[in-house]
């Protein structure tokens, strides 16, 4: 219990601090960065009105709202990760969107899984899995394998997917997927809601029907599946290649 004098001082200080913050908030709610040139913007409470910098003719504005922090990165791949295949675990599939490349040499990727998931236990024990890239034709199977548990279903059987033997790992690949990457876990990061498995890609398999006469993999013909905030999309037309913006004509 604070003495009365210190209590009064604390309350007074708190009141002054609250007044200053309120004044600051109200003042900057209408704060304007001087100048009408392209690139200027208006600060409003949790909103920014930005003048475009696209070209000399376009002076229109874009309105931005501030949201709470969240997983807004989009699109992301929707992949089916197959695991198991050893004597203690039957082959299983889990659909993941929190997946991506993390290194080129050595080739590493990551998948993030909630510890409550059945596949988490399998991958933790076996230290291996296969990442299978999905397509529009596999959208329904991809979604189903993400909402049902391998504890209750044989997902290969239910979705009529074809397991094929891997070269390095015991987990099977999914034949219907155009790309299959055999992976061995190198590190596990406990992050919060999900644990991230960082794995080395030990072997890659591609569907021959997507190879052109020169042997180039034509993924633009595969109708790859993408995930964005609870919805599935198919990737559209090709716009360019890496470095095309600086290539001399």
Model confidence at 59: pLDDT above 90: no
Supply the pTM of this predicted model.
0.78
Enumerate the β-bridge partners of residue 20.
Answer: none
Token pair belonging to 101: 């490349």
d(CA 124, CA 194): 13
Q: What is the mean pLDDT of residues 111-118?
A: 97
Whole-angstrom Cα distance, residue 72 to residue 87?
A: 39
42 — pLDDT class (breaks 50, 70, 90): low
Higher-confidence residue of 53 and 219: namely: 219
- What confidence category does residue 45 fall into, taking pLDDT thresholds of 50, 70 and 90? low
Tokens of 8: 């009064």
Average the pLDDT over 73-100 and give the result: 94
Q: How confident is the model at residue 87 (pLDDT cuts 50, 70, 90)?
A: confident
Contacts of 210 (CB under 8 A, 6+ apart): 178, 217, 218, 219, 221, 222
Q: Is the pLDDT of residue 86 over 60?
A: yes
Statement: residue 7 has pLDDT above 50: no
Q: Where are the beta strands (DSSP E) in 126-241?
A: 128-133, 163-164, 173-174, 179-190, 195-206, 225-228, 231-234
Percent of the chain with pLDDT over 70: 76
- Residue 211, token pair as written in the block: 């190879």
Compute the distance between CA of residue 193 and CA of residue 190 in angstroms, rounded to an integer. 8
pLDDT at 30 over 80: no
Mean pLDDT of 224-233: 95
Give pLDDT tens digits for 119-157: 999 999 999 999 999 999 999 999 999 999 999 999 999
Question: In the 8-state DSSP scheme, what is residue 32?
Answer: B
**pLDDT value at position 213?**
92
Domains observed in the chain: 4-65 (no CATH), 76-207+215-234 (2.30.110.10)
| Whole-number pLDDT of residue 58 | 63
Mean pLDDT taken over the chain: 83
Q: What pLDDT band is residue 8 in, cutting at 50, 70 and 90?
A: very low
């Amino acid at each position: 219990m604070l003495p009365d004098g210190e209590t009064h001082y604390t309350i007074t200080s708190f009141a002054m601090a609250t007044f200053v913050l309120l004044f600051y908030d109200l003042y900057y709610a209408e704060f304007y960065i001087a100048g009408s040139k392209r690139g200027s913007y208006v600060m409003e409470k949790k909103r920014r009105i930005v003048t475009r910098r696209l070209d000399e003719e376009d002076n229109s504005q874009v309105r931005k709202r501030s949201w709470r922090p969240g997983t807004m990165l989009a699109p992301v791949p929707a992949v089916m990760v197959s695991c198991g295949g050893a004597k203690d675990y039957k082959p299983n599939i889990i659909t993941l969107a929190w997946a991506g490349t993390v290194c080129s040499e050595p080739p590493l990727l990551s998948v993030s899984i909630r510890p409550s998931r059945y596949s988490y236990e399998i991958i933790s024990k076996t230290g291996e899995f296969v990442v299978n890239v999905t397509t529009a034709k596999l959208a329904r199977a991809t979604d189903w394998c993400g909402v049902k548990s391998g504890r209750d279903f044989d997902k290969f059987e239910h979705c009529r997917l074809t397991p094929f033997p891997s070269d390095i790992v015991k987990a099977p690949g999914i034949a219907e997927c155009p790309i299959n990457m055999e992976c061995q876990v190198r590190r596990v990061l406990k992050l919060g809601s999900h644990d991230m498995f960082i794995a080395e890609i030990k072997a890659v398999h591609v569907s021959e029907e997507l190879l052109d006469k020169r042997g180039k993999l034509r993924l633009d013909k595969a109708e790859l599946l993408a995930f964005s905030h609870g919805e599935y999309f198919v990737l559209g037309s090709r716009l360019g290649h890496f470095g095309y913006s600086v290539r001399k004509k």
